[in-house]
Structure formats: structure tokens, C-alpha cells
Amino acid sequence: MNKRHLESGDPKVQQQIRFCTTPDNVRIAYASVGQGPPLVKAAHWLTHVQHDTESPVWRPWIDEFSRHHKYIRYDERGFGLADREVKDFSFSGWVRDLETVVDSAGLEKFDLLGYSQGGPVSIAYASRHPERVSHLILGGTYAKGWKNWNLHKGQLEEIESMLTIMQSGWGRNNPFSRHVFTSAFIPDSTSEQQTWFDELQRTSCTPNIAVQFMHECGEISVQDLLAKVSVPTLILHSRSDIVVPFELGRELAANISNSRFVSLEGKNHILLETEPAWAVFLNEVRSFLEVKSIPTEVPAKAKGLGMTGWLKGPTN
């Protein structure tokens, strides 16, 4: 695997960006920041390891998870600084990307964070390489893609309409079409967060890649791998998540042995530091990873909103 190195574009974040090459000859960019036990975040929808350091959406994640860990993120094939012209845009390719990054970074054992579409990728990796994953954290995610959600005709037509909008308006300077997706991913957000997320969509990938990605996400199914996940697992999901239904998070917890489920209050698919659930999320993750630190203060209106429980194996 080939590696190249460059410094982050944001001088305030002392991250290092490197490149590695997958077995099918796709260059992947990955960034590391912080010191301590390694924590790897699997790539997902809309990444750009360089621009994320300036983001009011993703910057808080970088700040918090690099505080006690060596935090490693990477760009999905076709996104950000990774190769844009990719022949294989399949789920198996996404899993190979994760395998390539952790091997290139020289990680023998690490904690793994799978958020959104990065969840099934992380599940696949943990089921194949249980000896390398210390803890598995799954947030706002699922075991099966939207084409397997038993959607009614109207819901399917709505998704097809969104794909048409994506194909025709994704790359335009006018953010109107992209704002449809921003409103779904972070409905409870500030104007600054919305503006940045609108722009990330345009800069992170091309319209064709975006459409391909959405179709491939719909085909995902790792349901048969859940019983093979043996590592300690923490699953968190917002009750009113518009993008990924809450029930799909519960299904994960019911089918992964020794998993802990945390219910969060809120609508945002991507947790923002400006919402009460953010503090609950951080405290639960730190406790799970046994981080010795002062807990983040939970706003009064959020206290008691995190509902947790241990689920021992499949339940009916």
C-alpha cells in the first residue's frame, strides 16, 4: 500500500492527512489527530477530511474525539480527497477501504465508530476481524438499506424524486436542491450549520457519485452478520431521526449480543453540539470507552432523555 502525507489545511487542527491505495487501486485519504488509544470513524455519506476541520457540524466531533484518542477519519472512495473516478462503488469496496486504512495506519487493535452508513461497514469489519476491534460504537445506523425498509409506494416515489433533484441540481451554485437533504439530515440546526452542510454536498462529490451512493446504500444488508459481532457494542439512535428510522437502531440492539442501546431525543440525523442530545451522546461514549474525564454537562432539558439498557443476544 502506498502512502503520501500532507498537513491539514486548518492550522488550528494539528491533523495529518495521508493517502493509501486499496487492492483495487483506489487512493483513499485518511486523517489522524490527537494522541492516545486509536479510535477509527468509518467513512459515510459526505466526507472531506480537510474541510471537516472548519465545519460547525463535524469540527466538534474532531475536537471531542481527539481529546483522549488518536482519532482517525477517512474519505469514502469518490468523496473528498479520495479518488473521484471509481469503477467499483459497492459495499464490499467500502469495507475494503476501511481494511486498507487501518492496515496503512499500522493499527493492531482499535475502537471503531460507525455512524450512519458507516454502521453496516463497521459491522462487516467487526464480524470479520473481531480480534482487532476493542469496542464498537454504532450511531444513527441500520443493518439493511432503504430498499429493504418495506416502504410504501408514496415513500418510494419521494425517494426517487430526491434522486432526480440530486442528479440535476447537486453541483449548482444555487443551494436550493441540496437544502432538501440538509433539512432532512440536520433539521434542528443553525443557519451557519445549514449553509456549511449545503456547501459540503457540492464540494465533497459529483452528482453522479451522490446518486450511485444512494442507490448502493439502498441495497445494503448485513442482517446475517449481526449474530457474528462478538465485541462490546454501544448503539445510539435519536428517536425522531428523519433519515434513519429509530426502529432500525432497536433492531440492531436486539440482534447484537452484549450490546447496550441508548435512546436520544431529537430530530437530527447528525448530532450537533448545539442540541441537548450531544452531551448525552458524549458521556455515554466516554463511559463505554472507559475514558477518565470530567463528564460534559447535560442541559437541564436533556436530563433523563438518554434511555439505556443491555440487550443480551437476539430477542423476539
CB atoms within 10 A of CB 307: 12
pLDDT at 297: 62
Q: Is there a contact between 48 and 81 (Cβ–Cβ < 8 Å)? A: yes
CA 249 to CA 29: how far, in whole Å?
29
pLDDT at 302: 43
Q: Which three cell numbers stand for residue 109?
A: 487493535
Q: Identify any residues that bridge with 308 across adjacent strands, giving them in sequence order.
A: 262
Give the rounded distance of the alpha carbon of 55 from its chain centre: 15
CA 115 to CA 303: how far, in whole Å?
23
Q: Which domains does the chain have, with CATH numbers?
A: 4-311 (3.40.50.1820)
Give the rounded distance of the alpha carbon of 54 from its chain centre: 18
* 316 residues of the chain, pLDDT tens digit each: 444 444 444 445 689 999 999 999 999 999 999 999 999 999 998 889 999 999 999 999 999 999 999 999 999 999 999 999 898 989 999 999 999 999 999 999 999 999 999 999 999 999 999 999 999 999 999 999 998 888 777 877 777 877 887 777 665 666 666 677 888 899 999 999 999 988 888 888 888 888 888 889 999 999 999 999 999 999 999 999 989 999 999 999 999 998 999 999 999 999 999 999 999 999 999 999 999 765 666 554 444 344 444 344 443 3
CA 59 to CA 80: how far, in whole Å?
16
pLDDT at 101: 98
Q: Which three cell numbers stand for residue 238?
A: 435519536
Give the rounded distance of the alpha carbon of 274 from its chain centre: 19
Q: Identify any residues that bridge with 53 across adjacent strands, giving them in sequence order.
A: none
**Quick one: 179 exposed, middle or buried, by C-beta within 10 A (0-12, 13-18, 19+)?**
middle
Sheet containing strand 4-7, strands side by side? 4-7, 16-21, 27-33, 70-74, 38-41, 110-115, 133-139, 233-238, 259-264, 307-311
pLDDT at 190: 94
Residue 179 is classified by DSSP as H
Q: Identify any residues that bridge with 70 across adjacent strands, giving them in sequence order.
A: 38
Q: What are phi and psi of 77, to 5 degrees?
A: -55, 130
Q: Which three cell numbers stand for residue 172?
A: 449548482
Hey, is 231 helix, strand or coil?
coil
pLDDT at 203: 86
Q: What is the pTM of this model?
A: 0.88
Residue 240 is classified by DSSP as T
CA 253 to CA 236: how far, in whole Å?
9
pLDDT at 310: 38
